[in-house]
Amino acid sequence: MANYKNNKKTSPKKTNNKVYKKVNISRIPTKSKANSKSNKISSKSPLKIIPLGGLEEIGKNCTVFEYENEIIVVDCGLAFPDDEMLGIDIVIPDLTYLTKNKDKIKGVFITHGHEDHIGAVPYLLKEIIAPVYSRALTLGLIEGKLEEHGIGNAKLIEKKPGDKVKCGKFTVEFIHVNHSIPDAVAFAINTPVGTILMTGDFKFDSTPINGDMIDIARISELGRNGVLALLSDSTNAERTGITLSEKTVGASFESLFKGAKKDRIIVATFSSNIHRMQQIINEAVKCGRKVAVSGRSMTNVVEVATRLGYLSIPQGVLIDIKSINSYAPHQLVIITTGSQGEPMSALHRMAQKQHKNVTITPNDTIIISASPIPGNEKTVSNVVNGLMKLGANVIYEKMYDVHVSGHACKEELKMMLAMVKPKFFIPVHGEEKQLSHHKELARQVGIKDKNILISENGRVIELNKNSISQKETVHSGRVLVDGYGVGDVGSIVLRDRKHLAEDGIIIVVMTMDSASGEVVSGPDIVSRGFVYVRESEELMNDIKETVYNSIDRLYNNDVYDWVAIKTKIRDELSRFLYERTKRSPMILPIIMQI
């Protein structure tokens, strides 16, 4: 972190083009106006809305808007693998539909800089050429990803709230919203059939950390003018009430920092939650502590946010993680990744005593400033237990108000519906249960049931001024990324990995005379993840006997085909091992010929 410069905070509005070093950035004047004639276009063609991700799931948000021979794309994010996806790094949307129609794509619009909205942008830009429109921080984060992927010719265009971008028959207006990352926007998309409002991720925060409250005035004005369809964030549709302001977390930090006067303080949070990091830094400055950052993604975000003026860090406060041993515990705050218990994260490595710079001691107070994403509860619990075994004082959401969501709860979702008054409503960004709860909220504010549509990834939604319907399904789904491999790991490979992980493998190796079919050497048995060979000699001998008997039966029936021999060995050995052990390891016969 020695390369960090503690710049004075500058207004994001004054961000200069020079921050984008390797990617071609251009500007569209903020006074650009939408073509007022676009509402007057009369056409029988419907507007097509095609979700490629983000429905019946959390993550990999990507939505296509298509009118005749023109397409715009909103967001292109990733999802993180579940427990069944062994060895997989990330999951991205299947972008086949876009690559097949790349000549139609006029622009890519990004609502904000979270991974589930920008993570797949590099994979998209490897296949298509189109300008990417978003706000300064979002583009800064995207630029870093493009550099990692070796993409240097992308056209990133910075816009501000109130700006309107004309893309063929589409005009897209940027509208400020509150979320857990700065520069989040909603999009009002003017089309030949009417106006579509896509909220992106949002909440109503009346006391945001920096910036303004969500632009209620503009959203209400759109509602008065008439919105054909609303696509709204469903993440917290099950949660009652309203989402607390981010400032409530700041009050908790103040209390916790005061209570840990002699301890080193370690705070784990999402790397993209810049508002949260700012509050941690502010409290550290008040207490006279230095701040170090641990975790690659956290380091990258801090560098970009500081450079663009979204993080204000006084001179001399930020130190390199490698220099923390030069300070007493009460002089330090460490901000780290790992709030979700990710196996390779910095906090997980601390809990396992594997972090090369941080050794956990009883003089540590650790604050996990995040709530577990559904499915991550066990991994988070494991990290908490590991930290506590090392003597640390661990504080997490259930003990203290150290986290608030960036997504709107029920009352805010109803407020959005009531302000927009859409003719049609399509809940997005959620699993089936969240989408269904959001549908019920729409009913409560008076939207007719026939005008509410819960769709699925790949399904074409057709809209005109008087109707909404679902049509054919386009190619969609998930693409698994494993290292440098994109899409080369599918369901069969995952099934094999799961089989190997659960049951292990038995390899049968032998050499046979190609002329006579006689077994010259072997069979040798190799076991991995099934039984320990040296302690299972009797079982190994019985496996060899089963293999011999299988070959004898084939020869007695005049079967000498190598494929048939392998199949017979696999089937008979599988049957024998299940009867003997009630386990079914993967069996791999290898026959060498001489």
- Rounded Cα distance, 98 and 128, in Å: 8
Compute the residue count for the chain: 594
3-class state of residue 144 by DSSP: helix
- Rounded Cα distance, 293 and 334, in Å: 6
Buried b (16+ CB within 10 A) or exposed e, 308-337: bbbbbbeeebbbebeebeeeebeebbbbbb
Nearest to 84 by CA among 386, 499, 394: 499
- Return the axis-axis angle of helices 562-581 and 537-556, rounded to nearest 10°: 140
Please provide residue 56's backbone torsions phi and psi, each rounded to the nearest 5 degrees: 60, 30
The two beta strands, 70-74 and 105-109, are parallel
pLDDT given at position 285:
95
Could you tell me which residues come within 8 angstroms of residue 194 by beta carbon, excluding any fewer than 6 positions away? 47, 226, 227, 228, 229, 423, 463, 465
Nearest to 270 by CA among 383, 372, 358, 120: 372
3-class state of residue 183 by DSSP: coil
**Rounded (5°) CA angle 118-123-127:** 130
Sign of dihedral through CA atoms 396, 296, 93, 203?
positive
Quote the DSSP letter at residue 229: E
- Rounded Cα distance, 150 and 156, in Å: 15
Along the 594 residues of the chain, how does pLDDT read in single tens digits? 333 333 333 444 443 333 333 344 333 333 334 444 444 444 579 999 999 999 998 889 999 999 999 999 999 999 877 666 555 677 889 999 999 999 999 999 999 999 999 999 999 999 999 999 999 999 999 999 999 888 988 999 999 999 999 999 999 999 999 999 999 999 999 999 999 999 999 999 998 887 789 999 999 999 999 999 999 999 999 999 999 988 888 888 999 999 898 999 999 998 888 999 999 999 999 999 999 999 888 999 999 999 999 999 999 999 999 999 999 999 999 999 988 888 778 999 999 999 999 999 999 999 999 887 766 778 888 999 999 999 999 998 666 667 889 999 999 999 999 999 999 999 999 999 999 999 999 999 999 999 999 999 999 999 999 999 999 999 888 887 765 556 545 566 656 656 666 778 888 888 877 776 677 777 888 888 877 767 777 888 888 888 888 887 877 777 767 778 888 888 888 888 888 888 788 888 888 877
Residue 183 bears catalytic tag? no
The correct CATH number of 12-16+47-242+406-480 out of 3.40.50.970, 3.40.50.720, 3.60.15.10, 3.90.550.10 is 3.60.15.10
Catalytic residue among 348, 407, 429, 437: 407
Based on its alpha-carbon atoms, the radius of gyration of the chain, rounded to whole angstroms, reads 29
Task: Judge: domain 494-593, CATH 3.30.200.20.
Answer: no
What are the percentages of helix, strand and coil residues in the chain, rounded to 5? 35, 25, 40
3-class state of residue 192 by DSSP: coil
Nearest to 92 by CA among 125, 119, 130, 126: 119
Domain extent listing, the chain = 12-16+47-242+406-480, 247-395, 494-593
Residue indicated by tokens 């959390």: 58
Tell me which fold the domain 247-395 belongs to: Rossmann fold (3.40.50)
Residue indicated by tokens 């964030």: 233
- Rounded Cα distance, 14 and 497, in Å: 51
Could you tell me which residues come within 8 angstroms of residue 97 by beta carbon, excluding any fewer than 6 positions away? 50, 52, 64, 474, 475, 476
- Return the axis-axis angle of helices 296-307 and 274-286, rounded to nearest 10°: 80
Quote the DSSP letter at residue 57: B
- Rounded Cα distance, 427 and 49, in Å: 13
Phi-psi region of 38 (alpha: psi -120 to 50; beta: other; left: phi over 0): alpha
Residue 233 bears catalytic tag? yes
Buried b (16+ CB within 10 A) or exposed e, 578-588: eeeeeeebbbe
403, 28 Cβ separation under 8 angstroms: no
Catalytic residue among 233, 263, 364, 482: 233
Residue indicated by tokens 């909404």: 468
